[in-house]
Structure formats: C-alpha cells, structure tokens
Amino acid sequence: MQIAPDFQKNSKMYVTISTNIKSVHFKEGIALFNNFTGNTHFLPSLFNSIITALAETSSSRETLFALFLSDSQKNISEINNTKEEFQQFITEALKSGIISEIN
C-alpha cells in the first residue's frame, strides 16, 4: 500500500527534533518548550509517538506518518484526513522550530 505518495519528493529528507526543544509527556498530551524563542507549545497525545520517536533518532516523513497512522487507529477511508492532519503538524512544527529537516 502506498500511503504517502506526497512524501516522495522529500524522500531523502529526514526530520529531527530541534536540540533546543524540551519535551514533557503527560497523560493528555505533550508540553514542549523552545529554548531559543521561549515559546511553550502543547500537543494532544495523538502526537506522543512522533515526538518520542524523534527524541530518539531522526526519521523520514514516511516513517513518521506510518507511526502516526498506526497510533491514530484510523481506518483506510479516513486516510486522507489523517494525512492532512499529519501534514499540518509537520508544517506547523517546522515553522515553530520544534522540528527541522536534515539531509
């Protein structure tokens, strides 16, 4: 199954959590603090596994999406919505400096 064809163009890019980010996991979600900007962000627990995985090692978007998909337990008919949600997270997390892309 090809779950993320849009990610092909970025296949050589990996995503990593920025070194200036502190994260704390709670039952209901994650709190993130950006040491550079001083901003605090809160994410729902839906993104727990992505942040945990990124804290360990950099990953491709495909890997992260697969992780997100399995965690969100959505069925195949909802895949487009889930992808949109994932893409939005990646875009906003890049913009806020929580994650960055590396080759």
Partner 1 sequence: MFAQFTLPIGPFIFSIKTDHQAVIDNLSALYADYAFSENSLFIDFPITITTRSMLRRFIKPQIDFLLDEFAPFKPLPKDQSFAMLEWGMNWCITTRAHQFLILHAGTIEKNGRVVIMPAEQGSGKSTLTAAMVYSGWRLFSDELALISLTNSLVHPCTRPINLKNDSIEVINNYVDNAVFSTIAKDTHKGTVALLKPPKESVERMLEAAPLHCIVFPKYVANAQAKLTPVSQIAAFQQLIQHSFNYHILGGEAFNMIANLLKNITCYQFEYSDFEEAKEILSSLVD
Find how far residue 86's CA is from the centre of its chain.
7
Nearer to partner 1 among residue 13 and residue 42 (C-beta):
42
Binding site for partner 1 (CB under 8 A): 22, 24, 26-29, 31, 33, 35, 38, 40, 42
Nearer to partner 1 among residue 9 and residue 27 (C-beta):
27
Q: Are 4 and 62 in contact (CB under 8 A)?
A: yes
Nearer to partner 1 among residue 39 and residue 81 (C-beta):
39
In whole angstroms, the minimum distance from the beta carbon of 33 to partner 1 comes to: 4
In whole angstroms, the minimum distance from the beta carbon of 41 to partner 1 comes to: 11
Rounded Cα distance between 77 and 55, Å, is 30
